[in-house]
Structure 1
């Protein structure tokens, strides 16, 4: 049986995306040349590759969803680090969530059952 264990996302600005995720989620980065950086932390490992593309749910991209014990605190951290909230907090069966874009316009979300 196979399982997902690594994600790769496009990033038009590797230094900006590294700073954002390190600030908000405390990810650690390892550069592999000027056009690729791998991340690790308290989540699945992955990497960012240099490209002008961006992932969005509206364009059929996979939506990566983080869990948070405190949506307000996480939202504040995202906004303070340069992320943009593109869908404000909304309720769904089982919890609440919001969507944001990182500095390279990749769309992600954060949810909580709290």
Structure 2
């Protein structure tokens, strides 16, 4: 069951190889299965849902923990009120809407909602 503030998804880069090579590795080593969403993104559901992407932009070169929110605007206010820095304001993506923020240590996370 999804709850506001709980880790819900993780996105990881596949820029050090190809998406096919990353999928082949996890399929062979751990029997993971994947759902492709275009040529540059493939999702998995293996305990914790997540996906690999081939976006080589600077902000996407590290794993991105994604939290869930029942009310995205309210959570954005809570993040900024606690001292978080908004990296990407709320935007739409396939599956919902989300924003990215940096915590006081500089870690980037995202929050998504429907």
TM-score normalised by length of structure 1:
0.49
TM-score normalised by length of structure 2:
0.49
